[in-house]
């Protein structure tokens, strides 16, 4: 009798182990049978919620939120047709340079160069939107970005503690010195009040508090809003759609920036930032979901790739 009980006990344990292994194996198969797009859907549902009422960005805040770094100039740029050129490697090999230069206004980001890439990204620049983290890279190449006879406008954005007039820190001094030295350049900084409005806009459009969700707004976010403010029609070059990195099979490896061929992979950068919960991250995919909704409201089209 005692032996039978022992055997039954062993059989019960074996059955429990077998069931556990079966369940784990089943879950593993189900998980891996889902496409990367399903994984994308999972974190998309967690992060993004459409606003119940669209913000009219044409009436959102005007251009009074951009103050001159030096002098008393005002931002008067207005264009009927704009080309917004991203830093993405997708612009390479497109031969879109002439088309971009033909646009009334050409908007670029941070320290994305044109020299050596003219065939694909053009040479004309009407406005450059620069993050505080890119200021040093910009001033290191004054001949390319600052010293020009027909200079573009530059809008610097960043925490007031870094680029604001009251900051008096290294970045503020660099920006102010560049504005004083290269007087053909029209330089502006986003005011603290407008920086807060950018945060509010992110919350209204996504349902996520930027700071509580540990997010940094990207230069793309600022640039897109500014483009909507000053342009009647916008053609965006090189921006991938929100679901691009969730496609199956996975897209081929592409450098994040067209001018840094050995830089990080584009999709790895997007997915790592979107999923990141420790430290602050850009929510690139969430932002692109908003852009796709704005496209229907503000005459925005996307090319290379087209979506």
65-118 per-position pLDDT tens digit? 899 998 888 888 899 999 999 999 999 999 999 999 999 999 999 999 999 999
Q: What is the pLDDT of residue 257?
A: 98
Q: Specify whether 171 is located in the same domain as 207.
A: yes
Is the four-CA dihedral 91, 93, 99, 102 of positive or negative sign? positive
Higher pLDDT, 219 or 213: 219
Q: Is residue 8 assigned to a domain? A: yes
**Higher local confidence (pLDDT), 116 or 16:** 116
- Tell whether 288 and 178 lie within a shared domain: yes
Question: Quick check: 258 and 91 in contact, CB under 8 A?
Answer: yes
Query: Do 11 and 53 share a domain, yes or no?
Result: no
Domain range for residue 61?
A: 44-303
For the stretch 114-154, pLDDT in tens is: 999 999 999 999 999 999 999 999 999 999 999 877 778 99
The 8 Å CB, 24+ separation contacts for 133-136 are 133/158, 134/110, 134/219, 135/163, 135/171, 135/174, 135/175, 136/171, 136/174
User: Measured between alpha carbons, how far is 194 from 63 in angstroms, rounded to an integer?
Assistant: 10
Does 168 share its domain with 207? Answer: yes
* Mean pLDDT calculated for residue range 161-181: 88
Mean pLDDT of the chain: 84
User: Which of 240, 219, 223, 220 minimizes the C-alpha distance to 82?
Assistant: 223
8 Å CB contact between 234 and 227: yes
**239: in domain:** yes
In which residue are the tokens 């692109």 written? Answer: 288
**Residue 39 within a domain:** no
272 in Cβ contact with 208 (< 8 Å): no
Q: Are residues 137 and 252 in the same domain?
A: yes
- Judge whether residue 192 has pLDDT over 50: yes
287 with 145, same domain? yes
Q: Is residue 22 part of a domain?
A: yes
Band of the pLDDT at 50, cuts 50, 70, 90? low
Average pLDDT of span 31-53: 42
pLDDT tens digits for range 227-252 = 999 999 999 999 999 999 998 888 99
Q: Return the pLDDT at 38.
A: 37
Percent of the chain beyond pLDDT 90?
A: 63
- Considering the domain architecture, whether residues 15 and 130 belong to the same structural domain is answered as no
Place of tokens 């930032």: 273
Banded model confidence at residue 277, pLDDT cuts 50, 70, 90: confident
Q: Are residues 175 and 281 in the same domain?
A: yes
Residue 38 in any domain: the answer is no
**Burial of 4: CB neighbours in 10 Å, binned 0-12, 13-18, 19+:** exposed
Distance CA 179, CA 126 (A): 16
* 18 and 114 together in one domain: no
What was the pLDDT predicted at 30? Answer: 37
Which CATH number characterizes residue 221's domain? 3.90.1480.20
Q: What angle do CA 161, 159, 194 make, to 5 degrees?
A: 120
Number of folded domains that form the chain = 2
Q: Answer whether residue 40 shows pLDDT above 50.
A: no
Shared domain for 20 and 59, answered yes or no, is no
What pTM, to 2 d.p., does this model score?
A: 0.82
**pLDDT at residue 289, rounded to an integer:** 96
């Amino acid at each position: 009798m005692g032996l039978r009980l022992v055997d039954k006990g062993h059989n019960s344990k074996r059955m429990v182990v077998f069931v556990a292994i079966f369940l784990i194996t089943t879950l593993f198969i189900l998980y891996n049978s889902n496409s990367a797009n399903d994984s994308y859907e999972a974190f998309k549902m967690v992060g993004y919620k459409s606003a119940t009422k669209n913000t009219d960005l044409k009436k959102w805040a005007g251009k009074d939120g951009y103050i001159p770094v030096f002098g008393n100039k005002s931002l008067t740029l207005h264009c009927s047709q704009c080309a917004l050129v991203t830093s993405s490697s997708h612009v390479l090999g497109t031969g879109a340079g002439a088309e971009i230069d033909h646009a009334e206004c050409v908007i670029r980001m941070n320290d994305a160069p044109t020299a050596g890439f003219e065939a694909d990204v053009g040479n004309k620049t009407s406005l450059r939107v620069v993050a505080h983290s890119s200021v040093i890279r910009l001033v290191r190449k004054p001949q390319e970005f600052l010293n020009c006879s027909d200079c573009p406008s530059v809008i610097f954005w960043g925490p007031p503690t870094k680029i604001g007039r009251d900051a008096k820190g290294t970045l503020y001094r660099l920006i102010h010195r560049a504005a004083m030295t290269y007087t053909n350049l029209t330089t502006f900084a986003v005011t603290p009040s407008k920086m807060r409005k950018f945060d509010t806009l992110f919350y209204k459009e996504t349902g996520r508090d930027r700071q509580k969700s540990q997010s940094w707004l990207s230069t793309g976010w600022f640039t897109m809003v500014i483009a909507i403010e000053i342009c009647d029609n916008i053609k965006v070059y090189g921006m991938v759609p929100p679901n691009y990195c969730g496609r199956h099979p996975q897209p081929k490896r592409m450098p994040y920036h067209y001018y840094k061929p050995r830089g990080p992979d584009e999709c790895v950068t997007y997915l790592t930032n979107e999923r990141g919960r420790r430290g602050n991250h850009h929510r690139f995919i969430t932002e692109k979901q908003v852009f796709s909704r704005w496209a229907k409201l503000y005459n925005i089209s996307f090319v290379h790739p087209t979506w």
